[in-house]
């Protein structure tokens, strides 16, 4: 490596719930659960730290959350609002680095490599970021700093909430050895139980395995991965600027839904969320993806490419809806998702000009109009599509 | 209570057309049903998706006149499964429709819905029809229907435009990036009618029902189009909206012409397109005596093919959606085609050699 890299991972603490507590001061200090409801089947999207003390966590069935925290306040997901706050926080973060990589609505990596002389020591930058987020937005964030994104990510988790942890270059192996297996990023529950079956219950056990042994048990790729993470070496999960990626959004329903009008309204809403993120992240895509999970948990993802880039929510929704009409037989749905795949830099997409300029112009007009709306929204003015619809109490996550 | 007997094969032929009209995506309703009406030793069969209507008559032996509607998909499935020969059909009081092959112990009973609930199919005024050659309409549909747009926001391009230009029937289809045009050669007496946008569904059915011999009677009204064959009638509502001013995008004259073997070009495109990714973009380099077709360099690899052509002009590189090029090549009848163009960024024209009554226009893609 030519020079010492420094990455900072910023993770907003209990973001959805914190925004709710911010907007509704009477909820501060109380257990707040976002997503799902006390009655239905929904799933917890996020919860405040007060709720976590009762053992509630995200992705937990709402009924279970209700059982554990009977007095908690259940709130519907207001993704538009979270995205709005998120966009403003991301704008602040981008002041500290030319390369900000947003992972989700509440999480981002800052590449601080080479910024020391300009902005000071990474730990000072981390403190300043935390202070600014708190002063400007009333929210707390956990910050992790390390030589790789992998280490920075685990460092931000280390002292959560409101934490700041710095892993000095060269100290990665010791840092990882001090963690629990459950804290190792990228290690799923299934892999963990397979490790436990082999008697590997601590990071130090994993660290003691030879790479050949791990490859023998888990295969070439996964074996190498385990070997690397046990040493604090970035296995390459967050490798640099990817050439293409996808942006998607999905929602799990409170109750199974089979009403096509509601499904379509929700789809429009999801499309708009995805387009907003695409607008913020830049890039263009020609491939629309639709994800359907039926009541029996069978899940299918279908995709279709169109000749020209998807330039506006209208175009996106139109294609997604066509997929829905073709692939959905009307059976009750549990989850609906949609996304743009192969999001690439604008230059890399082949352009097909139009024969008639008026059709081209109307598509271009829609695109510009939408960008103008998104810009207004960033400025705090909330304009929404009239068709947009959100049923109380269904949960979503981007 | 209706009762009639007819040959399985005769009925299958008509019921399978009916099933094509019925939109299978619909939730089960009366529109999923086919209507059967037996009277005067004729069975009248009707099906509709509310836009396209189909009506046909076949001779049957009627024991008792009456009418009913049954689930078309299942009726067709049952008919296909039965042995060849005579089949007896009967409705009984409690809306049960029985299907019983004569001399066999097979008995199917389908739920039926009263034909009173079946929607009316629109009818044309009998004086508005004109005769048109079946062979000609088949060719006109073949040269154009593939070029329509399936983009719903361009609904006005979702059909084939039909108009009367100086007594000739002209059909045009475009998706906004390519356009196909054909003008009928014959001087059949065309009545005046407004330019209309006809959905491709009914045109596909016309192609299917037309034998290619004799004539079909056509009526074009501001709201609907009708095609009447001897025993079969098709109708379709039209796409409302303004078809784009297509004359404006037809190049009046092109500077350069390359003449190439249609089949060779078609085969070359088929091969090179194996390595073309989702962009569908191929590069076509037209030079003295040769046309080079290349795919883009990609992670998979690259393909290149050269074929000879007659061309006398500057070396020109253009990018094209290969589907836009290969689709017209499939419908052009003659062995040679002319690729006419002026600049790499302007629309190209594809002609058959010798010239026919049709041509195809393609807007190139951007080169980089």
Looking up residue B269, the CATH number of its domain turns out to be: 3.10.150.10
Looking at the fold, whether B162 and B219 belong to one and the same domain comes out as yes
The pLDDT of residue A357 is above 80: no
Q: What is the mean pLDDT of residues B146-162?
A: 90
Residue for token pair 């020391």: A116
Boundaries of CATH 3.30.70.270 in chain A? Answer: 1-170
Q: Which of residues 157-186 of B touch A (CB under 8 A)?
A: 174, 176-179
**Chain A contacts of B151, Cβ < 8 Å?**
318
Share of chain A above pLDDT 90, in %: 29
Looking at the fold, whether B167 and B241 belong to one and the same domain comes out as yes
Determine the residue of chain B that is closest to A363 in CA distance: B153
Bond into B354 cis (ω within 30): yes
Interface check A261 vs B, CB under 8 A: no
A107 part of the active site: yes
Q: What is the mean pLDDT of residues B31-49?
A: 95
Share of chain B above pLDDT 70, in %: 98
The pLDDT of residue A243 is above 60: no
3-state secondary structure of B155: helix
Q: What is the mean pLDDT of residues A271-275?
A: 87
pLDDT (tens digit, 9 = 90+) per residue, A54-104? 998 876 778 888 889 989 998 887 877 888 898 889 889 988 887 787 777
CA-wise closest residue to B23 among B201, B154, B273: B201
| Stated length of chain B | 368
Return the beta strands (E) in A131-241 as ranges.
141-146, 164-166
From B117, B151, B167, the end of a domain falls on B117
Residue for token pair 């074996």: A223
Contact B281 A350 (CB under 8 A): yes
Phi, psi of A17 (to 5 degrees): -65, -35
Determine the residue of chain A that is closest to B278 in CA distance: A305
- What is the distance, to the nearest Å, from the Cα of residue A68 to the centroid of all Cα atoms in its chain? 26
Q: Which residues pair with B178 in a beta bridge?
A: B362
Residue for token pair 């032996």: B61
CA–CA distance, A19 with A36 (Å, rounded to integer): 17
Looking at the fold, whether B155 and B70 belong to one and the same domain comes out as no
From B93, B117, B141, the end of a domain falls on B117
The hierarchical CATH code for the domain A173-229 is 1.10.150.20
Q: How confident is the model at residue A20 (pLDDT cuts 50, 70, 90)?
A: very high
- CATH architecture of the region A247-396: 2-Layer Sandwich (3.30)
Domain range for residue B63?
2-117
Interface check A212 vs B, CB under 8 A: no
pLDDT (tens digit, 9 = 90+) per residue, B307-346? 999 999 999 999 999 999 999 999 999 999 999 999 999 9
Contact B249 A315 (CB under 8 A): no
The DSSP annotation for A341-362 comes to: EEEB-GGGSPP---SSHHHHHH
Among the residue ranges A389-393, B193-197, B265-269, the one predicted with the least confidence is A389-393
CA-wise closest residue to B217 among B125, B122, B121: B125
Measured on CA atoms in the order B54, B57, B60, B66, is the torsion positive or negative?
positive
pLDDT at B133: 94
Q: Which residues pair with B337 in a beta bridge?
A: B260, B352
The pLDDT of residue B304 is above 50: yes
Contact A350 B365 (CB under 8 A): yes
> CB atoms < 10 A from the CB of A52, how many?
17
pLDDT at A44: 79
Looking at the fold, whether B76 and B181 belong to one and the same domain comes out as no
Task: Please give the ipTM for the structure prediction.
Answer: 0.80
Looking at the fold, whether B78 and B158 belong to one and the same domain comes out as no
pLDDT at A218: 84
**DSSP structural state of residue A53:** T
Q: How many domains does chain B have?
A: 3
CA–CA distance, A17 with B233 (Å, rounded to integer): 64
pLDDT (tens digit, 9 = 90+) per residue, B59-104? 999 999 999 999 999 999 999 999 999 999 999 888 899 999 998 8
Topology (CATH level 3) of domain A1-170: Alpha-Beta Plaits (3.30.70)
3-state secondary structure of B89: strand
**Strands laid side by side in the B290-295 sheet:** B304-308, B290-295, B281-287, B316-321
Looking at the fold, whether B347 and B313 belong to one and the same domain comes out as yes
Instruction: Please work out, in degrees rounded to the nearest 5, the angle formed at the alpha carbon of residue B128 by the alpha carbons of B123 and B133.
Output: 100
Residue for token pair 């709710």: A20
pTM: 0.62
The DSSP annotation for A282-304 comes to: --B--EEEEEEEETT--EEEEEE
The pLDDT of residue A297 is above 70: no
Residue in A50, A107, A250, A272 annotated catalytic: A107
Give CA separation, A120 vs A108, A128, A153, B158, in Å. Answer: 20, 10, 21, 61
The answer for residues whose C-beta is within 8 angstroms of residue B13's C-beta and 6 or more apart is: none
Among the residue ranges A170-184, A267-281, B66-80, B188-202, the one predicted with the least confidence is A267-281
Looking at the fold, whether B27 and B65 belong to one and the same domain comes out as yes
Boundaries of CATH 1.10.150.20 in chain A? Answer: 173-229
Q: What is the mean pLDDT of residues A167-192?
A: 85
| Stated length of chain A | 398
3-state secondary structure of B31: helix
The answer for residues whose C-beta is within 8 angstroms of residue B253's C-beta and 6 or more apart is: none
Q: Looking only at Cα atoms, what is the longest distance across chain B?
A: 80
Q: How confident is the model at residue B124 (pLDDT cuts 50, 70, 90)?
A: confident
Residue A344, token pair as written in the block? 């690439």
From B207, B227, B248, the end of a domain falls on B248
CA–CA distance, A254 with A391 (Å, rounded to integer): 9
Boundaries of CATH 3.30.1490.100 in chain A? Answer: 247-396
Among the residue ranges A108-112, A373-377, B48-52, the one predicted with the least confidence is A373-377
pLDDT at A386: 53
Interface check B153 vs A, CB under 8 A: yes
Q: How confident is the model at residue A242 (pLDDT cuts 50, 70, 90)?
A: very low
The pLDDT of residue A391 is above 60: no
On average, the pLDDT of chain A sits at 82
Q: What is the mean pLDDT of residues A291-320?
A: 85
Residue for token pair 């019983």: B100
Looking at the fold, whether B336 and B242 belong to one and the same domain comes out as no
């Amino acid at each position: 490596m030519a020079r010492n890299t420094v990455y900072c991972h910023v993770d907003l603490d209990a973001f959805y719930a914190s925004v709710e507590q911010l907007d509704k001061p009477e909820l501060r200090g109380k257990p707040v659960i976002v997503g799902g409801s006390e009655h239905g089947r929904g799933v917890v999207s996020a919860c405040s730290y007060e709720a976590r003390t009762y053992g509630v966590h995200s992705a937990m069935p709402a009924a279970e959350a209700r059982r554990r925290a009977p007095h908690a306040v259940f709130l519907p997901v207001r993704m538009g609002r979270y995205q709005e706050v998120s966009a403003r926080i991301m704008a602040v973060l981008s002041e500290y680095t030319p390369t900000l990589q947003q992972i989700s609505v509440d999480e981002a990596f800052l590449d601080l490599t080479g910024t020391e002389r300009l902005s000071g020591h990474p730990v000072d930058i981390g403190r300043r970021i935390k202070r600014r987020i708190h002063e400007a937005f009333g929210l707390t964030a956990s910050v992790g700093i390390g030589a790789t994104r992998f280490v920075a990510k685990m460092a931000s988790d280390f002292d959560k909430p409101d934490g700041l942890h710095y892993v000095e270059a060269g100290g990665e192996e010791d840092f990882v050895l001090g963690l629990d297996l459950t804290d190792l990023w990228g290690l799923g529950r299934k892999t963990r139980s397979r490790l436990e079956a082999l008697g590997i219950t601590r990071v130090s056990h994993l660290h003691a395995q030879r790479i050949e042994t791990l490859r023998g048990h888990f295969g070439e790729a996964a074996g190498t991965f385990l070997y690397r993470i046990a040493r604090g070496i970035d296995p390459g999960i967050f490798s640099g600027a990817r050439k293409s990626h996808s942006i998607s959004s999905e929602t799990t329903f409170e109750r199974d839904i089979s009403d096509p009008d509601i499904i379509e309204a929700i789809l429009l809403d999801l499309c708009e969320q995805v387009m907003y993120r695409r607008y913020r992240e830049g890039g263009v895509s020609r491939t629309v993806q639709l994800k359907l999970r039926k009541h029996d948990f069978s899940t299918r993802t279908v995709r279709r490419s169109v000749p020209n880039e998807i330039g506006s929510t209208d175009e996106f929704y139109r294609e997604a809806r066509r997929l829905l009409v073709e692939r959905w037989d009307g059976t009750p749905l549990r989850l609906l998702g949609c996304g743009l795949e192969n999001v690439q830099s604008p230059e890399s997409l082949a352009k097909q000009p139009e024969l008639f300029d008026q059709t081209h112009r109307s598509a271009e007009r829609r695109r510009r109009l939408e960008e103008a709306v998104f810009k207004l929204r960033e400025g705090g003015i909330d304009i929404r599509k009239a068709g947009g619809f959100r049923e109380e109490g269904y949960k979503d996550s981007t | 209570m209706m009762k009639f007997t007819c040959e399985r094969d005769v009925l299958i032929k008509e019921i399978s057309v009916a099933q094509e009209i019925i939109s299978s995506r619909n939730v089960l309703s009366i529109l999923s049903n086919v209507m059967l009406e037996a009277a005067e030793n004729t069975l009248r069969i009707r099906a509709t998706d509310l836009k396209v209507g189909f009506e046909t008559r076949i001779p049957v032996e009627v024991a008792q006149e009456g009418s009913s509607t049954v689930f078309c998909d299942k009726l067709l499935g049952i008919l296909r499964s039965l042995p060849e020969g005579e089949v007896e059909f009967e409705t009984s009081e409690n809306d049960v429709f029985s299907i019983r092959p004569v001399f066999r112990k097979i008995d199917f009973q389908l739920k039926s819905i009263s034909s009173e609930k079946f929607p009316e199919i629109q009818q044309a005024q009998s004086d508005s029809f004109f005769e048109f050659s079946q062979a000609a309409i088949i060719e006109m549909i073949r040269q154009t229907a593939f070029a329509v747009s399936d983009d719903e926001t361009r609904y006005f391009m979702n059909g084939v435009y039909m108009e009367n230009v100086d007594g000739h029937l002209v059909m045009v289809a475009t998706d906004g990036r390519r356009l196909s045009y054909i003008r009928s050669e014959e001087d059949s007496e065309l009545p005046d009618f407004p330019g209309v946008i006809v959905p491709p569904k009914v045109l596909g059915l016309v192609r299917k029902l037309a034998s290619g011999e004799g004539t079909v009677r056509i009526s074009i009204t501001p709201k609907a189009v009708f095609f009447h064959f001897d025993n079969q009638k098709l109708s379709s509502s039209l796409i409302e909206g303004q078809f784009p001013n297509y004359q404006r995008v037809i190049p009046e004259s092109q500077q350069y012409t390359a003449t190439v073997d249609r089949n060779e070009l078609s085969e070359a495109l088929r091969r090179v397109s194996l390595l073309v990714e989702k962009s569908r973009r191929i590069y076509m380099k037209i030079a003295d005596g040769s046309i080079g077709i290349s795919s883009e360099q990609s992670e998979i690899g690259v393909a290149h093919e050269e074929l000879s052509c007659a061309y006398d002009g500057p070396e020109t590189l253009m990018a094209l959606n290969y589907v836009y090029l290969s689709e017209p090549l499939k419908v052009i009848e003659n062995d040679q085609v002319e690729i006419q163009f002026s600049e790499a960024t302007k629309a190209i024209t594809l002609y058959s050699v010798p010239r026919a009554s049709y041509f195809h226009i393609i807007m190139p893609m951007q080169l980089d």
